Each structure stands twice: as C-alpha cells, then as structure tokens.
Amino acid sequence: MKKLILIIMDGWGIADDPASSAIDAADTPFYDHAVKAYPFSKLNASGLAVGLPEGQMGNSEVGHTNIGAGRVVYQDLVRINQEISSGNIKQNPRFQQLLDYCRTQGRPLHLMGLLSDGGVHSSIHHLTGLLNILSGENLPAVYVHAFMDGRDTDPHGGLEYVRQLEAAMKQYQTGKIASLIGRYYAMDRDKRWPRIKKAYELLVHGKGREFETAEAAVQHSYQEGITDEFMEPAVIVENGKPVACLQQGDAVLFFNFRTDRGRQLTTVLTQQDMPEEGMHTLQLYYTTMTRYDDSFKGVHVLYEKEAIVNGLGEFLSRHGATQLRIAETEKYPHVTFFFNGGREEPMEGERYVMCPSPKVPTYDLQPEMSASEIEQKVIEIIRADHPDFICLNFANPDMVGHTGVFEAAVKACETVDACTHAVAEAAKEEGYICLITADHGNADRMRNPDGSPNTAHTTALVPLILIDPEQHYLLKDQVGKLGDLAPTILELMGLAPPEEMTGDILVVPVEAGVTG
C-alpha cells in the first residue's frame, strides 16, 4: 500500500476574475510553480456535481462529505426542497406530531433559523414554504426568530430577505417576525458562550433593542455600520411588548438543515443548564430539521441523515491502513465527522488531531490562524509515524475570506502557500504521494462587481495538483468533481475502490498516457 497525503486548501478557488481574487493578488510561489511543474487539473465543487441545486455554491460540509464518500452525495438542501415544494413534509410523522402538539396544547410554534438563500445552513425558500403549509393548519400562532446571514450572502442582503419573509407572511396570512440577531451570536460553534447568551436572552427574555418592524431593525443596524452577520439583538414589539418570546411549553422548529451551527443554541435551550452564564433549559417541544447531535435527548428530528457506506475512511480502516486527520478547530469537524459521512467516533487505525484556532473576534485580525502549528505537527507525525493516509485542512482562505477584508485574505493565502510547500516537501521526502485541492471557492472572489466586499463562497472550480515522487501517474485531461477524489486516492495507493464509490478515477498510469 502506497502512502498518500491529501491537502485541502479550504476556500481556494480558481478565479473567474483575477482582479477580485486574493489568491491571485497573493505571493504564492509554491502554488504557481506546482500548477506548471506537476500534473494539474480542475474539479467542480458546487451545484449538481456535489449534490446541490444547479448553480448553488459549495461549502465545507458538502465538500468534505463528497470527498470522503467518493460519490455525489445528495444534500439535505435538495431533499428538503423537494419535501416542502411537493408538500410531502405533511406526511412526515414528526412534522404532524409537532403540529398536533401546538393544536392540542394551544401553544405557538416558533420558527427559528438563518434567514438566507445562501443554501449552506438554511434556505429562505424552506421558511416561506413552511409558512404556506402552516397557513392551512389552524395553529394558535406562528412566530419567526430570524438569524441574519451576511457571511454566505451579501453583508447587506438581509433587508431584502426580511422583505421577502414579510411578503410571504402577508400572502399566506401566517406568522409574525418576533426577533432578529446576527449569526455571529446565534450560530457560534466554538463554545464562545457569551455570544450564544446574547441570542438566548433575546429569545427567552426579549432582551434587545426594540423596534416596531423588522425592516426598521435591519436599517438601524446598517446605519450603525453593522452588517447582517454581526447584527445586535433586536426585539419586535407591539403595543410596547415583545411580539413573542420562548416560554415553557412552547413548540420550536429550528429550520437550519446544516448541523454544526445549531448545536450550541439547542444545547442551552434544551439540554444543559449553564448557571454561570445565566442560561437554563426550557421545557419545549423542540424539533430540528436534521439531527444536530446524536447525544441530544428529547429533540425531535424531521430528516435523518442517509448512511454513507464504504466511504474512504471506513474502507481504509477495514484494509488495515493507519490514518491521520488534522485541522484547526474551525475545520476539525470537516476532516473527521463530515469526511467520514457523519460518523462521530474514529475508526480502527484513525488518529484525529486538532490544533486550536486563535481566539480572535474575526480572523482578519490573525489571518495566519493556526496553519503553522498544523504544518509543524503533520511534519512531525509524517517523520515519526508514517501513517498510510493523511487528510489535512488549511482553513485560512475560507475563514479569512468570510471577513471580506482583502488584504487579510491575501495574507491568509500566502500563509497557506508556504505551509503547503513545507508539508508537501516533507511528504515527498518520506515517499508520500501528495494531492493538493480545495473543497470550494471563497478567497478567489473577495469583491463584488460594484466594489463591495464579497464574504460568500463561490461556484469556482478548484485546483487538483498531483505530486507523485515516482511519477507513475498522470491526471486525466478532464474536469472532475470532489466525489472523484476518494476512488482516485485508492487507485494511487494501490487499492481497488469499492463498488459504492461511483466517482471517476482521475489518474492514469504514465505508460497509458493522458486521456480525455
């Protein structure tokens, strides 16, 4: 079995417009050399190629899931789109039980989640579709608690989303907006509990600046120079009182379908008292669109994950291979949980290493993040332990790209270029085949056509570079997809991919030549 290292430069796309690309502006001598000196091709990391709707930008969860699965994995977004647009969600027993609870107990339903068409964590079309369905269900009341995006979408896109939501409420004569807050607070995933506390106190105690309309709240935020992601808690009031807060016995539907950024808020609302932070759980009939955490008790789930059988990690484990997965905090779940198709625990032969992400408010303040720590650690392990397969993630182009700060994103890309070079050289010295790629685009477009910062992912193709010390393989002359990586990795390692891996093998032996 040959040894292989997969380096994922998170958010490193191939720019359509180099003038708006931090990657193209950066000094990246290793990358510039590698794309000319080694076999190079491109991969599709968005839309139908990764199981998303056509034209939908990819993201880290989707990207790592497809990479690890070795096939196109149809995403929750596509599945739930179909369920809601067709009305099939009404046949879902957990959905019916939620509605029955509201009717029999006379309790309101609180719809809670990210107000966005980014398609990464949620979809505004799911929310408006739910309002359409709920309009015929004779519920006591329906309230919406909107978490503002500005990260996977335009930083000032929230006003239009609020208008779309209010238009749907008017059309279907259902629902009222009760509160708004930026995702920076409500959707933290790094145990920064003071952020979650702001959202908790807004939802439970109605603590926030008061406005009579959601539109006024968003416009005020913009006037204060605050973009959607960082919007401070806003309470919508009628006759001087909050429209609605979460109360004991109420029903909640958290409509985010991505799991990671819904866990902490769900934890403090339903699972675990945090008296030191002033947060205590409530007795709620609490439903989530997907399963946010296997350990949650008493949380109802509308759509369970479909099992991925014989993904790369599982297949290598069964064949006795040793594996290393390494990333910093921000991307650690992606190289472990998502790469392994939603499996929490390491399999036989797997080793997980997490380097803590720096504790800064936003990563433009430290664009180097923890890349050098990852570089040093992985080189140390390569030389000492020689694991058969290594998957590492450099988070910088994505996480710094999300800040919209061009100069910081340039520094992030330069950091990753230097660290990737060091790791690739060490791997080559130890006889490793090296594949360098990305999971989606981001830093390749830092500016919108009007010159404003772009903080969202892109639909760019991503690079694929093959460094084979023995030069036994070439890359095919074709645009592949992320789901082709696992069978390609197995081919390079000398293992036949399992039949469940329907992705293409993107390499050919040198003697066969390059084919189309």
Tens digits of per-residue pLDDT, 375-420? 999 999 999 999 999 999 999 999 999 999 999 999 999 999 999 9
From 249, 272, 303, the end of a domain falls on 303
Question: What average pLDDT does the chain have?
Answer: 97
| Residue 449: DSSP 8-state | T
From 266, 285, 303, the end of a domain falls on 303
pTM beyond 0.75: no
Q: Which residues does residue 44 pair with via DSSP β-bridges, in sequence order?
A: 481
Q: Is residue 291 within 8 Å of 305, Cβ to Cβ? A: yes
Same domain, 145 and 282: yes
Q: What is the pLDDT of residue 514?
A: 54
Q: What is the pLDDT of residue 159?
A: 98
Same domain, 138 and 260: yes
Same domain, 223 and 333: no
Same domain, 41 and 104: no
Same domain, 388 and 508: yes
Same domain, 140 and 235: yes
Q: Is residue 66 within 8 Å of 481, Cβ to Cβ? A: yes
| Residue 408: DSSP 8-state | H
Q: b/e for 415-451, b at 16 or more Cβ within 10 A?
A: bbbbbbbbbbebbeeeebbbbbbbbbbbbbbbbeeee
4-9/389-394 β-pairing: parallel
Same domain, 184 and 290: yes
From 253, 287, 303, the end of a domain falls on 303
Q: What is the pLDDT of residue 84?
A: 96
Decide if 86 is catalytic. no
**Set 21, 60, 123, 179: catalytic member:** 60
What is the extent of the structural domain holding 322?
A: 4-73+308-512
Q: 3-state DSSP call for residue 324?
A: strand
Report which of 38, 24, 16 is spatially closest to residue 417, judged by C-alpha positions.
Answer: 24
For residue 432, the Cα-to-chain-centroid distance in whole angstroms is: 29
Integer-rounded Cα Rg, in Å, for the chain is: 23
Give me the number of domains the chain comprises: 2
CB atoms within 10 A of CB 33: 11
Same domain, 122 and 255: yes
Q: What is the pLDDT of residue 91?
A: 97
The ranges of the chain with pLDDT < 50 are 515-516
Q: What is the pLDDT of residue 257?
A: 96
Same domain, 400 and 254: no
Same domain, 323 and 290: no
Q: 3-state DSSP call for residue 352?
A: strand
Q: Report how far residue 420's alpha carbon sits from residue 268's, in angstroms, rounded to the nearest whole number.
A: 39
Which CATH number fits the domain that encloses residue 11? Answer: 3.40.720.10
Same domain, 143 and 178: yes
Same domain, 265 and 385: no
Q: b/e for 270-294, b at 16 or more Cβ within 10 A?
A: bbeeeeeeebeebebbbbbbbebbe
Q: What is the pLDDT of residue 515?
A: 46
Report which of 69, 65, 7, 2 is spatially closest to residue 38, judged by C-alpha positions.
Answer: 7
Q: What is the pLDDT of residue 513?
A: 59
What angle separates helix 29-37 from helix 406-429, to the nearest 10 degrees? 50
Which CATH number fits the domain that encloses residue 168? Answer: 3.40.1450.10
Q: What does the longest C-alpha to C-alpha distance in the chain come to?
A: 79
| Residue 274: DSSP 8-state | B
